[in-house]
Amino acid sequence: MRRQRRVQKPKHGDPCYYCGKQATQIDHVIPQAMLRTLALSTEPITLENIARRVLTVFSCRECNVLLSDTFTETLIEKKKILKARLKRRHKKLLEMPDWTSYEIEELGYNLKSYVQDSLDRLFLLKERLRW
């Protein structure tokens, strides 16, 4: 009977490899869909392919979903693709104008809360893009 390799799950405080946010999932560097195709292939599986099969990194849910079954030669390339997808997904947030504290104080309660929340999300997004 073959022994399965246990993949370690992220613990509280483990960062997402791609953006630094709290990791909650595991991203298979070689997507599982691709591995299933490889397994059905008639070509022999090399040691390099086997080594790649077990490579995983911790990721947050959003990064894992955005990358889906994306395959690249290196993790650096995969990270670049992810950042481009994050920018596209949050385009409106990134286009948000700068607000002074005086302008924010002049707003009504609901709009003030919305703007402040958007500024907080924008700050976190920029941190993720810098990671």
- The C-alpha atoms of residue 112 and residue 116 are separated, in whole angstroms, by 6
- Write the pLDDT tens digit of every residue in 90-108: 999 999 999 999 999 999 9
Most confident of the following: 27-36, 44-53, 108-117: 108-117
Contacts of 47-56 spanning 24+ positions with Cβ under 8 A: 54/5, 55/28, 55/29, 55/30, 56/7, 56/26, 56/27, 56/28, 56/29
pLDDT at site 110: 97
Average pLDDT rounded to a whole number, residues 112-127: 97
| Domain edges within the chain | 1-89, 90-131
pLDDT band at 117 (very low <50, low <70, confident <90, very high): very high
- The answer on pLDDT for 34 being more than 70 is no
- pLDDT computed for residue 1 by the predictor: 47
pLDDT of residue 108: 97
